[in-house]
């Protein structure tokens, strides 16, 4: 991202975020960059920068944040949140942004695949008879191959 275009800013975004868990403390950020300096993703990829994402959200750059690819690079390792001297719940904030991005239609295919498997099969690695054969061979008990309870937990999916 180059220059910030504040004409695109949505002044309500900050207030919208402040009402939700993870977004309620971001205005305490004083840009010390402890988060970015501690981030294992930022260390290998320069498109991911936690302090910049917090600033962008505070400036109201809603679309630039929620339509971005970079929010999905957060590994939710909690290093930033544990170290933030201002008590900003950065990992929870990143999770909030990802949840909001999904509502705007921004969802990586791998994340969608995981969600479909969980809501459809109850597991990210559904167990089949072949898995149970391998389990039996080494003396492990079988795991159920179907999971109907997710249909009750998520009836609208």
Q: Which window, 8-16, 26-34, 54-62, 102-110, contacts other proteins (CB under 8 A)?
A: 102-110
Contact 35, 78 (CB under 8 A): no
Task: Confirm or reject binding of residue 122 to other proteins (CB under 8 A).
Answer: yes
Task: Confirm or reject binding of residue 41 to other proteins (CB under 8 A).
Answer: yes
Task: Confirm or reject binding of residue 37 to other proteins (CB under 8 A).
Answer: no
Other CB atoms within 10 Å distance of the CB of residue 9 = 18
Give min distance, CB of 78 to other proteins, in A: 4
Identified binder of other proteins from the candidate list 31, 99, 145, 146, rule CB under 8 A: 99
Cα separation, 70 vs 64, whole angstroms: 10
CA-closest candidate to residue 20, choices 94, 115, 70, 85: 94
Give min distance, CB of 19 to other proteins, in A: 15
Task: Confirm or reject binding of residue 67 to other proteins (CB under 8 A).
Answer: no
Give min distance, CB of 57 to other proteins, in A: 17
Cα separation, 19 vs 87, whole angstroms: 17
Q: Which is nearer to other proteins, 9 or 97 (CB)?
A: 97
**In the structure encoding, which two tokens stand for residue 15, read together?**
């207030």
**In the structure encoding, which two tokens stand for residue 148, read together?**
């109907």
CA-closest candidate to residue 2, choices 63, 51, 64: 64
Identified binder of other proteins from the candidate list 18, 82, 145, 146, rule CB under 8 A: 82
Going from the C-alpha of 71 to that of each of 1, 43, 50, the distances in angstroms are 14, 15, 9
**Which residues of this chain interact with other proteins, rule CB under 8 A?**
40-41, 43-45, 72-79, 81-82, 91, 95-96, 98-99, 102, 107-108, 110-115, 118-119, 122-125, 127, 131, 134-135, 138-141, 143-144, 147, 149-150, 152-155
């Amino acid at each position: 991202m180059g220059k910030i275009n504040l004409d695109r800013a949505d002044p309500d975004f900050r207030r919208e975020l402040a009402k939700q868990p993870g977004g309620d403390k971001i205005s305490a950020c004083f840009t010390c960059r402890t988060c970015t300096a501690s981030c294992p993703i930022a260390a290998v990829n320069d498109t991911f920068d936690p302090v910049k994402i917090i600033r962008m959200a505070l400036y109201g750059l809603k679309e630039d944040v929620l339509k971005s690819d970079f929010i999905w690079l957060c590994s939710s390792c909690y290093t930033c949140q544990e170290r933030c001297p201002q008590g900003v719940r950065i990992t929870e904030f990143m999770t909030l942004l990802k949840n909001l991005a999904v509502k705007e239609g921004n969802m990586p295919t791998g994340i969608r695949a995981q969600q479909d498997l969980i809501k459809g099969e109850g597991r990210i690695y559904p167990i089949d008879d072949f898995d149970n054969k391998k389990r039996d061979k080494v003396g492990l008990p079988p795991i159920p191959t179907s999971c109907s309870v997710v249909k009750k937990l998520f009836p609208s999916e």
